[in-house]
A and B are shown apart, each in its own frame.
Chain A
Amino acid sequence: MEPRIVFHVQAEPFDVAKEIDALAGLGDDVGAVTSFTGYCRSEGGYLLALELEHYPGMAEEEIGRVVQEAVTRWPLNGLTVIHRFGMMRPGDGIVLVATASSHRLAAFEAAEFLMDYLKTRAPFWKKEHRADGSSGEWVEAKELDDKAASRWQSRS
């Protein structure tokens, strides 16, 4: 059966439990659902908010390419990716990746792959808004994220 692929780029919050239930309910073959949620954090009270800018159109297309690759590489029953844009307060969910498979290994690996690729390929940028009211910096990309993404290229 074709895997059920759901991905959204949206301003609205998402409901993690609802998305997990939807994947778990895909059928009797589903033996494992894994999910990752990335949240906005306050950096010890330093940050008031993170503003997520995105490239409308390309964000959807790039996530579409990444999810297609995930379902070709792993035997998944379904996957869900939701990436938000706009102003995030500490504690707000920014990104959700959830995968369903018969076995846990494919579900875990596909979710990790999706996150690594979203971090380095999906056109989103974070800007800090500081608690003291001053305009903060653009968050810098981490070399660690590129390394994490590149490990999926040497194996297939």
Chain B
Amino acid sequence: MTEIKLIYFAWVRERIGLAEERVDVPASVTTVAELAAWLQLRGEEYAYAFENPAIVRAAIDRKHVKPDALIAGAQEIAFFPPMTGG
């Protein structure tokens, strides 16, 4: 088990109902995609937030990453919708 800080933004945050949390992630979860799939099982809110996992983007330690990125060593992992700034 590794404790990781998770941060959520925009509708991902609203659907989960939390801006951030610390979770104990089992060692079997190694990638961002696996983490999203594991989170989906934590409850209805999470299932709703990740109902279309292909849309949700992620950042590890404030850098954009792809779903196959490894989470080992991550301090902070963020999940958010595609960006709409500018």
Contacts and interface: CB of A to CB of B under 8 A. Distances in A.
B84 A126 contact: yes
Interface string A34-60: 000010000000000000111101100
A119 B81 contact: no
Nearest to A125: B10
A124 B83 contact: yes
Contacts of A55: 7, 9, 59, 62, 78, 80
A111 B7 CA distance: 31
A98 interface: no
Contacts of B85: 52, 54, 83, 94-95, 118-119, 122-126
Contacts of B59: 55, 58, 123
Interface residues of B, number: 16
B15 to A, nearest CB: 11
B82 interface: yes
Contacts of A126: 84-85
A145 B62 CA distance: 22
Interface in A86-129: 94-95, 115, 118-127
B62 A125 contact: no
A127 B10 CA distance: 8
Given A58-B59, A58-B62, A115-B86, A141 B81 contact: yes
Interface string A117-156: 0111111111100000000001111000100000000000
B11 interface: yes
10 contacts: A55-B59, A55-B78, A55-B80, A61-B63, A118-B85, A119-B84, A123-B9, A125-B80, A138-B84, A140-B82
Closest 6 CB pairs of A and B: A124-B85, A141-B82, A125-B10, A58-B62, A119-B86, A139-B84
Interface of B: 7, 9-11, 59, 62-64, 78, 80-86
